[in-house]
Amino acid sequence: MNEKYGVRDYDIQQDLEQIYDLVEVGYAEDFDRIGREIRRGMDRERRVVAALRLLGRVFPALRDLSPGFVWETEGRIVSFVHFARVGLAGDRWSIESVVTHPDARRRGHARELVTRSVEAIRERGGGTVTLKVRADNDPAYRLYRDLGFVHYDTTVQLRRSTPSGEPSNPAISPRRIGHRAWYGDWKRRHRLALRETPDAVQEVVAVSEHEHRRPAFARLLAPAFIRLSGRRIERWIVEEGGELLGTLSVDGDATGTRTHEFELHTDPSVEATWAAPLTDRALASLAALPPTTILVETRASNVDTLRALEERGFAAVNTWHALGLRL
């Protein structure tokens, strides 16, 4: 490779600062929409990266957590693609980031890096590759379709600024569970995901148990990494007759420097009943943390969940198309 021009592997330790610069410019509109500043929390992320690299010497599954490629011109990174396995096992991979500097667009950089990433995933034994693209980003959508990706799902991302006053307690409440119980309950969470996910989606991307099951070392290390990252995680479940009907995972930023997020899932038979109480539970939990923007994402077909969120002051800021490629 010409030292001043071309593609090379992404080196997270060497390239992280330049990637922050690139993402800040390339994703400026995206971050503005969700109210997030890319550079806030950089020191914490560096600590997490350093810890992961150290642990990778002991746990092989952690040695390949940040693969990707960069396009470098005159020593400057102008395009970047990062991909990762979904879970720590299984054959599904996700292309997490595709970003090109505005001054370097329309030159084929993204096409080349995505193509190389797909081949690298294939070489790692991957069976399926997924990615997300903003619905109004027509050039990127056409690129991925041209590379063989199939549109299989659509989600809506909503945002709310933390309001003044106390949130209302849910009329009916889920049960809170601890970290160990959450990961130990992966079989029931997997069955819930199978019931929740439309058949048309599963025809393209199967719901794998690896999305919910974690190896023992990951379960052991997770609490330490959560504390290191400055996050506070709480989880809640709805159950009946021995089965899960709903789950809620609240990911709050204890420092107030980044966004809060939560994720809720319900069996289609109880979405109308539990979407609002789970949302209220999330807001009540986050009220104990420093105020900052709250983000949540849900499938566009989850009408009752979208209604519950909008009634509580959330507004849609992005619509995302999910695309998949079978290898």
Per-residue pLDDT tens digits for 133-182? 999 999 999 999 999 999 999 999 999 986 544 566 666 789 999 988 99
How many Cβ atoms are within 10 Å of 247's Cβ, its own excluded?
24
pLDDT band at 309 (very low <50, low <70, confident <90, very high): very high
pLDDT of residue 164: 46
Q: Are residues 42 and 177 in the same domain?
A: no
Residue 139 domain flag: no
pLDDT of residue 11: 87
Lowest pLDDT segment from 17-26, 44-53, 90-99, 159-168:
44-53
The answer to whether the Cα torsion of 89, 91, 96, 100 is positive or negative is positive
Average pLDDT over residues 229-250: 93
Is the Cα dihedral 52, 257, 296, 222 positive or negative?
A: positive
> Which of 108, 126, 144 is the C-terminal boundary of a domain?
126
Residue 249: domain span: 159-319
Residue 193 resides in a domain? yes
| Same domain for 314 and 181 | yes
What pLDDT is recorded for position 2?
45
Final residue of a structural domain among 126, 150, 167:
126
95/241 same-domain check: no
Report whether pLDDT(297) > 80.
yes
Q: Is 230 inside any structural domain?
A: yes
For residue 162, what are its two tokens? 């933390």
Residue 281: band (very low, low, confident or very high) from pLDDT cuts 50, 70, 90:
very high
* 326 belongs to a structural domain: no
Q: Please tell me the predicted confidence (pLDDT) of residue 205.
A: 93
Instruction: Spell out the residues 6+ positions from residue 310 whose beta carbon is closer than 8 angstroms to its own.
Output: 158
pLDDT of residue 88: 72
Do 214 and 96 lie in one domain? The reply is no
Q: Are residues 307 and 165 in the same domain?
A: yes
The CATH number assigned to the domain holding 26 equals: 3.40.630.30
